[in-house]
Structure 1
Amino acid sequence: MKSFKCKVITPMFLTGVDGRTPEMRPPSLKGVLRYWWRAVKAMDNVSNMRETENKLFGGAGKGEGRSKITVRAGYKQFCTEKVQPLPHHKGDKKAYKSPAIVAGETFSITFSGQEAINSELEELFYLVSVLGGLGKRSRRGFGSFALDGREANSEAVVAALDKMAPGKYRLDGNEINATDTSAAADYPYIRNIAFGKGYGSYYRLLQHIGEGTHKYCDDALGYSNRNKRLASPVCVSVVYRNNQYYPVVTILNTVTGGAPLNHLKPQEDFKTWVLS
């Protein structure tokens, strides 16, 4: 059994099954872990990846069965307030507010099961806390959280990546890059991670991120219509250290199902904006 103490860094739009009451549900946490496990591994064979993934997190295939990991969330009733999911909008219909768990709230996550003592799971949850988040708008800076006792910087991140996927990532100055993208299968794995400049207020940073999504509105940053959907391959999270809030931009391999997409320049332009 392994427990982690966590602190909310930016407002978290996380609710229960009714879609309104703030709640931290284990199935949602498992889903996030599963997603980032795939992204970190950068495996060269999707079938082998899915087989390994399902054995760990559970699946319906032969010999897979239930997840080998049990997740429990511990917290008191969360303090909430109404927050703008699109903080760059003012005075229009998109300037609406939704209930969110406020920054500064704390919770604990406990893993148990035969795989829970594996150090890889600890590193995975750490990477989720730095690169990802929980709840709606977590790809645009909301729902970020920190693990007690773990530093959030590029050196610590590349060390965690190396424990999970040895030799697949390298530190290039302030950025982390996949060492050989040609060797990975065509699915959303991590290609690049970069840390930006500090802000004194998380709200101002979230505004800045939102302004970037408006300025660089492009299908390369995600889209949704009646027939197709592309979850944004550019994830922006927020870390806190030395009384400053820093953006972290993670660019995943973009998979469009064969549809042509000139994605590199819009993604790099958005990344440059967020980090500046």
Structure 2
Amino acid sequence: MYEAVFELETVTPLFMRGADQGKAEFRSASVKGVLRWWFRALAHAVLLGNVDENEAISMIKDRESELFGSTGRKSKVLVRVSFREEKKVDVRELGARYLSFGLSGKGLVGTAKVELLSHERRYLEIAREVSEVAFAFGGLGARTTRGMGSIQLLGEYVTSSYLQNVYKSALDVIGGYLGYGLNRTPNVELPEFPALHPKFFRVKLGSMLYTTPYGRFSVLSDIDRKFHKFRHSGPKHERFVKGKLISYWVTEQYDDVKRAYRGSSDVELPYSAFGLPHQYNFFSLGVKGLMIEGEVHERRASPIRFKVVRGSDGKHRPMVVYLKHRFLPEGENLKVRIKRDIRARGIPQPGYRDVERFFNEFPGREVEL
């Protein structure tokens, strides 16, 4: 039996649940699900431009099943996990009210062990490379795209060279497994699904340094402020709340969303490219829970991902990942609804202009992949 062991530490609290949704629990099934996702993204990158999309999907599904198992097919790699808890942190203590929207309860802080076991060296090597990428660029648990569940290998510091080496090594191994090399020609087209291809996968290490990863005056709170400010950079509004006048800023697409609520599909909703569904409330109209979704696909993950990492100087900084792929299938548009009442449909799906503007303006240095 061949074995690879990863010792991990939580940089920001990890929100993972088992059968009891009210109880934090570190689960092997959840970790395996994360490894599956990163394997698909790596495999898709290698196949991009080498085979057509349908063939790529078929190959990825078959190889993922071979590696991690499926109904009627035993996994070549066993994943075992354990967790040594140091403390639990309430979501309200993160200093990231905007990023943690929708989360509740307490997250785990401590160290984790992830063990990979296989009877064949080849499969263990592939799973190890996938794990290296998953732990370097991603996280574990809920809201990992928004900085929760940031993890790091014990004793490892995140630098540009570290990320470059992990990425290149994984592409080489996955390429050998699939029988293709990375296609870097300019004619590689935007993929339908996430692909860690250097043309569509960009990473930036932020320039802000903090001694604390989460809480008040931390990396996470700084990301929270920057992201909220960017998303709410529209005009200033005022309204009375319990007899008191308050001021607040709205998104640049605020007025267009209001027009869509009134039935117009002749609007632009570029900020919806940051992920669906997108919820709005118009208290002046007595409207709460207005949802922006795809006409068929109600949910779409954000192409922007945040992570908190620690460098060799012991300081913490943000890492921003921009993973560009087709936001919605060709021909699918957006709809606006309140519960079952569809207020507008046929709204053009957003482009990535504002997503790219956010990534480009975020202070830091891009990693050359």
TM-score (norm 2): 0.63
Corresponding residue for residue 5 of structure 1: 7
- Which range is displaced more, 40-49 or 28-37? 40-49
What runs of 5+ residues in structure 2 fail to find an aligned partner? 49-55, 175-182, 232-250, 252-270, 278-292, 333-347, 365-369
Give the CA deviation at 1:97: 5.2
Moved over 4 A (4+): 94-97
1:249 aligns with 2:256: no
User: Residue 124 of structure 1: CA displacement?
Assistant: 2.0
Given candidates 48, 55, 59, the residue that maps to 2:70 is: 59
Contact 1:36 1:124 (8 Å CA) reproduced: yes
Q: 1:5 to 1:96 in 2, by over 3 A?
A: closer
Letter in 2 for 1:76: R
Distance 1:73 1:193 in 2: 28
The answer to whether structure 1 residue 81 and structure 2 residue 58 are counterparts is no
Report the CA distance shift for 1:275/1:136 in structure 2 as closer, same or farther (over 3 A): farther
**2:180 corresponds to which residue?**
none
- Tell me which residue corresponds to 2:118: 113
**Any idea what the Cα deviations from partners look like across 1:233-260, whole Å, max 9, x if unmatched?**
2211121111211222222232212235
- Counterpart in 2 of 1:171? none
Offset of 1:73 from its aligned partner? Answer: 1.0
Determine the C-alpha separation between the residues in 2 that align with 1:120 and 1:261: 37
Matches within 5 A, 1:197-208: 197-200=207-210, 201-203=212-214, 204-208=218-222
Matched residue SS, 1:229: coil
Q: 1:199: Cα distance to partner?
A: 2.2
1:174 corresponds to: none
The 3-state SS of whatever aligns with 2:307 is strand
Give a deviation string over 1:131-169, Cα, whole Å, max 9, x none.
11011111011101111243422222222222222399x
Residues in 2 aligned to 1:231 and 1:156: alpha-carbon distance in whole angstroms: 26
Percent identity among equivalent residues?
A: 25
Count of residue pairs the alignment pairs up: 260
Classify the secondary structure of the residue corresponding to 1:73: strand
Alignment of 1:15-26 (within 5 A): 15-26=17-28
Match of 1:239 in 2: 309
Matched, 1:261 2:349: yes
Kindly indicate whether the alpha-carbon contact (under 8 Å) linking 1:83 and 1:97 is maintained by their aligned counterparts in 2.
yes
* Counterpart secondary structure, 2:359: helix
Query: Which secondary structure does the structure 2 equivalent of 1:159 belong to?
Result: helix
Q: In the alignment, is the contact (CA less than 8 A) between 1:131 and 1:236 conserved in 2?
A: no
RMSD in angstroms over aligned alpha carbons? 3.0
Match of residue 156 from structure 1? 162
Aligned partner of 2:205 in structure 1 is 195
Q: Distance in 1 between matches of 2:227 and 2:349?
A: 18
- Letter paired with 1:251: Y
